[in-house]
Structure 1
Amino acid sequence: MKFPTVRHCWTAFLLLLASGLSAKEVPPPPDPPRLVNDFVGLLSRTESQALENKLVAYDDSTSTQIAIVIERSLEGDDIFDYSFRLAEAWGIGRKGKDNGILIYIAFEDRQIWIQTGSGAEGFLPDVMAKRIIDNIIVPAFRQQAYFQGLDRATDAIMQLGSGEFEPEGLGKKKISAARVIFFIVLLIVLFILLSRMGGGGGGGYYRGGRYDRGGGWIWWG
């Protein structure tokens, strides 16, 4: 399974160099294979098995694999880089389809990332992955409702895959044609004004945030 795009591979390479090659070691894949791997004990055995059954059934019916990995800490590693390497090493997703999705949680670090294979990016782009974290997982985790957060998050991903997911705050909003025209005219006017005021002096525009392309990491608690 190939998770990378050229951009992601280059980013992962730079992050690895920046960490001084002191990357956290990826554990061996579970044997026998499991889609839900809780190394912290965040979920009860019943909850873990319920999620496992759900994700296995989804994999069987769609060939899209959703995996959940919960670890204690990243040990100073970068969450994008580490979850990327873990997804690759474990072979999440069907071979040749690149359609794996990894929900990775570093519990003590309070960090979450959704790593999406290229074959699943059509229905789960980075912006939607981040919204699922922000609007579903984190609010539940703040209430210590860990199973509920992961259950609802996987529901949302499955519904996105079938084109049925459009809850408040995550779905597409309808915008009237008049409003679109208004914003276009406004942007043109602003562009003209700024070009007259700006003169020379150039320089680039830097967007803050480490994961601008983001599957979204976040702190909770």
Structure 2
Amino acid sequence: MKKIKNVFVYSIMVALTLMLAYLPVKAAAGIQAPTREFYVNDFAGLLSNDTKQYIIAQSKLLNDKTKAQVVVAAIQTLDGNSIEDYANEMFREYGIGDKSQNSGVLILLALQEREVRIEVGYGLEGAINDAKAGRIIRNLGTPALKEDNWDMGIKTMYTGVLKEVYAEYNLAEPGDLDDADIQEGFAEEDYGESSNGGSWITIGLVLFILVIFLRGGGRGGRGGGFFGGPFGGGYFGGGSFGGGGSFGGGGSSGGGGASGKF
């Protein structure tokens, strides 16, 4: 019985490893390297120079004060990928946010699919949880984006994110922060669960079942770590799936945030 149990556990772990290795590959093929400005990556040619300069200046100031990084990207198409997978992989490839704090945010717009996503690093998920990210998209971005007003839609979402980050660090907002189009605070509406991709939900469920299996029926057995044996400290040890990007501070995302259509 014990041998069968071990075979089952290792089979599940191998399957999960393959799933995690495959998910980013779907999006990686279409991801472009960041621009020299890093904070603005307008591959779809949607933004005016004034908006680009505003984002670059404000993001540099935020980074200097907190080490947090907020990056904006606009692409032509997702090339068949979900925006959740694409944003997560772009976040990882760019290494957005401080590596030790995972304090990054990516605002991604896909023009052809008319979708937008706010991807949040682990370190800022308390400041911008999934529900709040959804409200920023719906209340600040969607109205202008539906009218193809890219500058206003992206700028107001970006500024809304920036305000939340400054609040998280208990810092005063810069005097030149353009928040004229942003109402103070967001309504505490229940938008339900955000869309983080069914693939990640599936992985979470499998991991949960595996934990229950490992903790049950182990009478008299050794305690050991969460993933002992050949898998301990390997793919599943530690904190996140990303990290180590060569462009930003090396931050990573665990898939938190929200997506929306416009």
Q: TM-score range by the shorter chain?
A: 0.5 to 0.7
Letter of the aligned partner of 1:28 in structure 2?
A: A
Could you say which residue in structure 1 is the equivalent of 2:247? none
**Aligned counterparts of 1:108 and 1:157: Cα–Cα separation in 2:** 24
Could you say which residue in structure 2 is the equivalent of 1:143? 147
Q: Any unmatched runs of 5+ in structure 2?
A: 1-14, 169-182, 202-254
Structure 1 residues 214 and 88 mapped into 2: Cα distance closer, same or farther (>3 Å)? Answer: closer
RMSD: 3.3
2:185 to 156, 161, 167: 167
Runs of 4+ residues over 3 Å off in structure 1: 10-19, 21-24, 162-166, 207-214
Structure 1 residues 122 and 28 mapped into 2: Cα distance closer, same or farther (>3 Å)? Answer: same
2:44 is the counterpart of 1:40: yes
Q: Is the 8 A contact 1:64 1:94 kept in 2?
A: yes
Letter of the aligned partner of 2:78 in structure 1?
A: L
TM-fit CA distance, 1:76: 0.2
Q: Is the 8 A contact 2:125 2:256 kept in 1?
A: no
Aligned residues: 175
- TM-score, normalised relative to structure 2: 0.58
**Aligned counterparts of 1:33 and 1:152: Cα–Cα separation in 2:** 20
Q: Is the 8 A contact 1:65 1:101 kept in 2?
A: yes
- Identity level (%): 27
- TM-score, normalised relative to structure 1: 0.67
2:76 is the counterpart of 1:72: yes
Higher relative contact order (CA 8 A, sep 6+): 2
Structure 1 residues 13 and 35 mapped into 2: Cα distance closer, same or farther (>3 Å)? Answer: farther
**Aligned counterparts of 1:219 and 1:13: Cα–Cα separation in 2:** 30
**Aligned counterparts of 1:96 and 1:216: Cα–Cα separation in 2:** 23
Letter of the aligned partner of 1:215 in structure 2?
A: G
1:216 aligned counterpart, secondary structure? strand
2:167 aligned counterpart, secondary structure? coil
1:102 aligned counterpart, secondary structure? strand
Letter of the aligned partner of 2:104 in structure 1?
A: G
Letter of the aligned partner of 2:98 in structure 1?
A: R
TM-fit CA distance, 1:163: 3.3
Letter of the aligned partner of 2:95 in structure 1?
A: G
2:48 is the counterpart of 1:27: no
1:115 to 98, 111, 119: 119
